[in-house]
Amino acid sequence: MPEREGTGRVLSRSPIFFWLVAVVLAAADLVSKHLIFQRLPERESAPVVMVRGFFHIVHSENRGGVFGLGQGLAIWLVFGLIAGAAVVWFAHRKDARAVLTQIALGLVLGGAIGNLYDRVVLGYVRDFVVVYYWPGKDWPAFNVADAGICVGAGYLAVYAFFFAPREDKKKA
């Protein structure tokens, strides 16, 4: 049955790229954390220097939220669950069918799954990548999930601000 304008489905039938990317990223995150934390089992373990003064692998336990803010607050678990549900809902919407949008949303959900797993099972998120942006100055430790969330959210923000169709343009 053909859809009439204005009465189309809100949910997409096939968010295959979304689910594929989410599963692959969550698996990559959990496997990388497992491998790294086998090698560096203690917080006091010496970092593995990949590129001296630029990129190190460390053992870091984040009991807070973004960049370690709000240490020990359970609200981060609730926020992660709500955000994950919102991403799933949006990924299934008809207006989110574009492949790049599906991939970006998959990155966000995959990252959320990886970090939520850590929060629920361990009580903290395992971070292990440290990048130095200036001699002696490093970015807070992060993991594969964090990188996926940042790349996905970054794409969505750039798209929304610069490329998404605007209502006022549609009317003109």
Q: What is the pLDDT along the chain (172 residues), one digit of tens a residue?
A: 444 444 444 444 578 899 999 999 999 999 999 999 998 888 777 778 778 888 889 998 988 766 555 555 567 778 778 888 989 998 888 777 788 999 999 999 999 999 999 988 998 899 999 999 888 788 888 999 999 999 999 999 998 898 877 766 555 5
Give this prediction's pTM: 0.80
Rg (CA), the chain: 19
CB of 107 within 8 A of CB of 28?
no
Q: Label residues 116-132 b or e (16+ Cβ within 10 Å = b).
A: bbbbeeeebbbbbbbee
CA torsion angle 143 88 161 78 (round to 10):
-60
How many residues make up the chain in this entry? 172
What does pLDDT average to over the chain? 82
Task: Work out the number of other CB atoms within 10 angstroms of the CB of residue 140.
Answer: 15
Q: Supply the residues annotated as catalytic.
A: 127, 146
